[in-house]
Amino acid sequence: MSMKLTLMSSIALNEIPYRLNNGIEGELWQVRTADVRSFHELISFPERAVALSIDAQLFFPPGIESPAAVIVVPGSLGVGSSHMRKAELLVSAGIAACVIDPFRQRGVTSTVSNQAQYSFAASAWDVIATLEQLTNLERVDPSRIGAQGHSRGGSAVLSAICLQRLLETSNTFSAVYAAYPWCGQQFLNPQVDPTRVRAIVGDQDEWCSPQQVQGYIQAIRLTGGDATCKIVDGAHHSFDRDTPLEMIAEASVAPSAPTIYVNDDGSMIHPISGETATEWSERELMLYSMRAGFGRRGAHIGGSGQLADIFHSDMMSYWQSTFS
């Protein structure tokens, strides 16, 4: 399947309510968020943020008053049917779902060939902003809100829970579920307690390093966090899609590049010099990875029905145990 055909599966959340296979219809929603250049700007100069709103849809389980809720954050290909499948599973289990689209309002179609179209700091702020606004909805239990991110979205939810402490936000996530997250950028002091953390990644992932995922989860655990990681045998990136394995030729990946660490003030540490500079942008350090020869084009995506079942079983066990 070509890249063009894959991208055509992206689902717009701003036009009409999406009907899940279980019959539940979504409600159009907008999340007030912002664009920021870097974590340092977000933490130290929030006044520089450029306000915008992103599209979302809310799905509520019928007959349940103030249910728990999970924010579903897509990856580099945007919102797809697999994310709506997550909403369906959650709602069928009595958990509300909020699917967000970080792309359309930013004029982005896909980030698979260029992750620097907007910052990972902005992705993380999208997640926090959604949490803050969900807590104000009377139809949701504000003490039981989680976030589930896929690929770039997985990176976003992990960064979001680290930022909660640094930004001193008024609300915290009950838990996050990071699906095959890119962990090439990590907070040096990932203190996230009391938020529970679960990561899942395939051992054949060509987009994200399973070792970096393990390392980040272990770092969270060593700071006192409740963090676990599941490695799935024979699984590639996005193995929960339940679609045949395919090569995305345009994908720009660098899974073996050194980890970029982020200080509490949002400044980044260069992996070679060890120096810290607040003016460095994510794009500059990504370019370092490319110039150093770690970047390449082309990576596989997809899986099989059996692998998707493993993912969904782990996902639902986690959320049901968290909210029970």
Give CA–CA dist 250/82, Å, rounded: 21
Q: Report pLDDT for 142.
A: 97
Higher-confidence residue of 160 and 255: namely: 160
Q: How many CB atoms lie within 10 A of CB 145?
A: 25
222 pLDDT tier (thresholds 50, 70, 90): very high
Copy the structure tokens of residue 39. Answer: 């974590």
Query: Span 53-68, mean pLDDT?
Result: 97
Contact 300, 237 (CB under 8 A): yes
Q: Report pLDDT for 272.
A: 87
∠ Cα 73 308 195 (to 5°):
40
Contact 173, 149 (CB under 8 A): no
Give CA–CA dist 87/92, Å, rounded: 8
Residues in the chain: 324
Query: Span 267-283, mean pLDDT?
Result: 84
Number of domains, the chain: 1
Give CA–CA dist 133/126, Å, rounded: 11
Query: Span 108-120, mean pLDDT?
Result: 85
Q: Report pLDDT for 2.
A: 37
CATH number of the domain residue 54 falls in: 3.40.50.1820
Average pLDDT along the chain: 93
Contact 112, 248 (CB under 8 A): yes
> Which alpha helices (DSSP H) does the chain contain, by range?
3-7, 39-44, 81-92, 120-134, 152-167, 210-222, 282-291, 305-323
122 pLDDT tier (thresholds 50, 70, 90): very high
Report helix, strand or coil for 275: coil
Domain housing 116: 3-323
Burial track 293-317 (b if 16+ CB lie within 10 A, e otherwise): ebbeeebbbbbbeebbebbeebbbe
CA torsion 230-235-238-244 (nearest 10°) is -150
DSSP state of 19: B
Give CA–CA dist 194/180, Å, rounded: 22
pLDDT in tens, 5-43: 344 458 999 989 999 999 999 999 999 999 999 999 999
pLDDT in tens, 154-210: 999 999 999 999 999 989 999 999 999 999 999 999 999 999 999 999 999 999 999
> What is the full DSSP assignment across 187-229?
ESS---TTSEEEEEEETT-SSS-HHHHHHHHHHHHHTT--EEE
Give CA–CA dist 276/287, Å, rounded: 17
Question: pTM of the entire structure?
Answer: 0.95
Of all residues in the chain, what percent carry a pLDDT higher than 70? 97
| Ramachandran region, residue 63 (left: φ > 0; alpha: ψ -120 to 50; beta: rest) | left
Pairing of strands 50-59, 96-101: antiparallel
Give CA–CA dist 290/195, Å, rounded: 34
